[in-house]
Structure 1
Amino acid sequence: MPKSRGRRKSSGGKKQHKPVRRSPLPLRLSDQVMRDARRHFGGNDELLTAEAWASSWLGRAWLEAPLTEREPEQRLCLEVTGRASTTPSPAGLAAVAAMERVAPVDSRPMLAGTVGILAETQPLPAWHTSAGHHPVRAWRAVDVWGSERVLFIAYDGPTPHTLMAQIIETGGTMVDKLGLLLPDAATAWSGMRDDDDIPMPLTDYDVSAALADLAGALRMTDMTWPRHDDGDFVELRALAWARCRDHLPDWPEHEPLPDTERARLLNAFTTTATHNTDPETADTIRSLAELFLDYGEGYITVGPLAWSPGHAALFLADWLPRKAVLDHDQRALLPDALKRWVDFALTERGIEPRWITPVIEAVDLHLSDFQDAFDDHTAWGPAKQIATLLTSRGIDPNDQDAVDNAIRTLNAERLARQLTQPPIHNS
């Protein structure tokens, strides 16, 4: 008889072990797309609805991608076609067909080929054979300072509608919002605005010019980091790109202000702003005006004189503290000189006085931000740090030879410190 190996006595029945529940892995975005397609697509879908659905998923892929991911939308298209091909279904075919409408150009041949293969065994959605939507008219509304504009592009087709884009210029060109509106949205624009609202009169706009304007603004928005996360923009970004990509203009070339015009503006301003002042104060005010004009040329995209409340805020709280080195006299005269410059610049542009006042008020409002940021050395840009150090050593920033020699000296000092510091040994 074999010996017992220590079998436990029976306790009256087998003990049931509860299975250990493990947290399921999160669904990949492409899996979520396919699951949502089964819920979304039925038998009475419209082309515009399908395009908006696909655009929202492509927008999410774009928004959630890390900075190192160069083609997140193309990756999503590839994964969706793979899943739709592995398990064919009408919903999967509809998902691929919808993405084909609004996906980046490089992904469309793959999507179209997958649609052709799946259509051999699955019914195509009714909207797939539609001729699509075509732009028939456009309008544009621009605010009094040129810092914001709204585009309306009307489309005919299966579902007439208007594509709206709000574009802002403060801090750089960016599409702030996108919307799909009713066909008559543009005509209702004027009636929606009150008399106290900032003037933004609506004018007819060439359709091709509107699409080119939208494409250029989308390109600049895509370059912004972190990515613009407004919900309406993210959902309709791919659709908007699909509508305007063929009109994407060449990169605009920067056209500096002609020397004669720059001199005219500076002379005209200093003549009025320095009346009854001593020559030293007049020189200081002119030096500030040169700074104001530099900022306008480099950072106000619609023109160096197109100051707005937003531009005044950015100049005081961001650009000036990072870029400029001001002596005591310049700092003391800055508030009054900037308000005088804003009045001068906007008057040159023909802006009514009542719309110049909000910009001057913005100067007063953000002066405290300037004071705090200007004294924060950690906020200084590299050029300002070097310029401040050179000035502290008595180097004239306008003497190029002296500046070059001083920078070589600074580099030599930095290298010497690195060589003489004892090495750090990790324990």
Structure 2
Amino acid sequence: MATPLTPYDAVLHAARDVTKLDSALDAEMLGAALLGSVYEVAETDRDTAVRDFVAGFLAATSRRRTAAATTVRAVFAALVPDATGAERVRPGAAAPAWSGQLGKVHLTGTWAYGDVYGDQTSYLATFAYDDVSGGPEHALVALVDHNIGITKDVFVGGPASRILEQVRQLCAADELTWFREENPTRMRDEVTRHLAVTDRLGQLPGTSSLATDRALVGARLAVLPAATTPPPRLPDDPLPDAERAAEIRRFLAAPEAARAGLDAVDGAELASLHFCLGLLLDHAATFPDADPLRWSPTVAGLFLLDWVHRRAVLDMDDAAMLPRVLRAWTGYAARRRGLPASAGTGTDAAIEEMVPEFVRLYATGERRSPATAAVAQLMADGVDPDDPAALDAWIDANRHRLADDG
């Protein structure tokens, strides 16, 4: 029975024709794809797993002298230069002519584009090899999703000019997207910071090129200039009480609140109004870049169909008030941010379509967290949560049910 291949032998077998490739770019893309399998199956920090794999590969293959082995070693060292042993790797005597260009690229431009709502930003950078023998000019595209705080997808390919022109045309044809030249330092910081979160995910987003291009993306990001000062520290309280109160006052004095009749509510409705406004601001504070004015159809859906059911207990007045407040607030936010009219109407229409599902989820309680469900039951039983004696009595009477639910 043949001795099973080690993972390193498997890599060498998969890359046995690496010397037949036409360019350093082709070789780097092959190497990144091979390392992508390590990145994809890693159970802990994926970036560290790839670095450790490369270090192990370089150590295990240090005596291999075939052209394919020495070339793959050079490719991995160029892709992951901070792996142990990478600095000692040299191309072999029979290495392809392009091997001297591995990793030797310079930046030729950086841009950013995204939706006007602020849900996602894509960053695009183009690179050229220092010598044309390395391969053609190529582009890196990274998609940052601000709603979940990760770099959701990455891609490296070419021709760079065609990719850039396609993006320009796409954005020019859609008033709900923007396009601009980007500061390369900012691009490096934003993509790297969000990519670090992606690297720690237990399960990767369902995108085809995130794993296969991750190593090459890391190598190209390292070419961009790094920030000379650390990024500003995020505040402990992203929306301080004074700022929240001022924003609510501005909203209640705004035409959007008046059109919804929210400037004239009183009694029980007034309490529900302020409770609902507090929920909107609480939800905004959960995002890494907390902004009470950043709303979109996607953010509204996250709030109305998921977050609020898991995090809040609504009575019937609150449930009736919440969609009304949300529609007025998102219209107010769109105007404050200077979004196109179609952006505001798009969010409003999306919320209107969500209302039946919101009502159903409110009625069934199927998305309540255990804690929220317990509080909802407590209130349904007529117990005042602010009465310690009544609360203790209710817990004693329902201890068996609470234990079963847990």
Classify the secondary structure of the residue corresponding to 2:118. coil
Q: Which amino acid aligns with 1:111?
A: A
Q: Which residue does 2:65 correspond to in 1?
A: 88
Give the AA of the match of 1:93.
Answer: T
Q: Secondary structure at the match of 1:189?
A: helix
Q: How far 1:413 moved relative to its partner?
A: 8.1
1:257 match: secondary structure: coil
Which one of the candidate residues 137, 152, 170 is aligned to 1:192?
Answer: 170
Partner of 1:141: 113
SS at match of 1:256: coil
User: What do the CA deviations read for 1:286-324 (whole angstroms, capped 9, x no partner)?
Assistant: 211111111112237362211011111111222111111
Residues 179-188 or 54-63, more deviating: 179-188
User: Which residue does the alignment assign to 1:318?
Assistant: 306
Aligned to 2:180: 203
Which residues in structure 2 correspond to 1:56-75 (within 5 Å)?
Answer: 56-67=33-44, 71-75=48-52
Distance 1:213 1:69, change over 3 A: closer
Structure 1 residue 262 and structure 2 residue 244: aligned? Answer: yes
Give the secondary-structure state (helix, strand or coil) at the position aligned to 1:268: helix
Asked if the contact 2:323/2:351 (under 8 Å) is kept, the reply is: yes
Query: What amino acid does structure 2 have at the position aligned with 1:260?
Result: A
Name the counterpart of 2:375.
Answer: 387
> What amino acid maps onto 1:281 in structure 2?
E
Match of 1:6 in 2: none
CA displacement 1:194-236 (0-9 Å, x = unmatched): 63x3532321211111111111121122233312241122211
Q: Counterpart of 1:328?
A: 316
- In structure 2, C-alpha distance between the alignment counterparts of 1:371 and 1:80, rounded to whole Å: 56
Query: For residues 164 and 111 of structure 1, what CA distance do their matches in structure 2 show?
Result: 26
Shift in Å, 1:87: 4.4
Identical-pair percentage: 23
Task: Give the deviation of 1:133 after TM superposition.
Answer: 0.8
Equivalent residue for 2:128, pick from 152, 156, 172: 156
TM-score with structure 1 setting the length: 0.78
Contact 1:100/1:112 (<8 A) preserved: yes
Aligned equivalent of 1:227, options 204, 215, 236:
204
Shift of residue 83, structure 1, vs aligned partner: 5.0
Partner Cα distance (1:407, 1:211) in 2:
54
Q: CA RMSD in A?
A: 3.5
Distance in 2 of aligned mates of 1:407 and 1:67? 42
Structure 1 unaligned residues grouped into runs of 5+: 1-21, 422-427
Runs (4+) off by over 6 Å = none
With 201-210 and 69-78 compared, the bigger mean Cα shift is at: 69-78
Aligned residue for 1:253? 234
1:274 is aligned to 2:245: no
Residue type of the partner of 2:11? V
Instruction: Classify the secondary structure of the residue corresponding to 1:154.
Output: strand
Given that 2:112 and 2:181 are in contact with CA atoms closer than 8 Å, whether structure 1 keeps it comes out as yes
User: What is aligned with 1:103?
Assistant: 80
User: Relative to 1, partners in 2 of residues 1:394 and 1:208: Cα closer, same or farther, differing over 3 Å?
Assistant: same
Number of positions where the alignment pairs a residue of Structure 1 with one of Structure 2: 386
Deviations along 1:5-61, whole A, 9 cap, x unmatched?
Answer: xxxxxxxxxxxxxxxxx9x8986543332112112332x542222222111122221
Q: Deviations over 1:64-110 (max 9, x none)?
A: 223598843134324533553464311011111111111272x2x32
Amino acid in structure 2 at the alignment position of 1:226: Q
Work out which of the two has the higher radius of gyration on C-alpha atoms and give 1 or 2.
1
Structure 2: any 5+ residue segments left out of the alignment? none
Return the offset for 1:144. 1.0
CA contact (8 A) 1:300 1:306 kept: no
- 1:360 CA displacement: 1.4
In 1, Cα distance between equivalents of 2:342 and 2:46? 48
Contact map agreement 1:29 1:76 (CA 8 A) in 2: no
Q: How far apart, in 1, do the equivalents of 2:156 and 2:393 lie? A: 55
**Partner secondary structure for residue 289 of structure 2:** coil
TM-score, length basis structure 2? 0.81
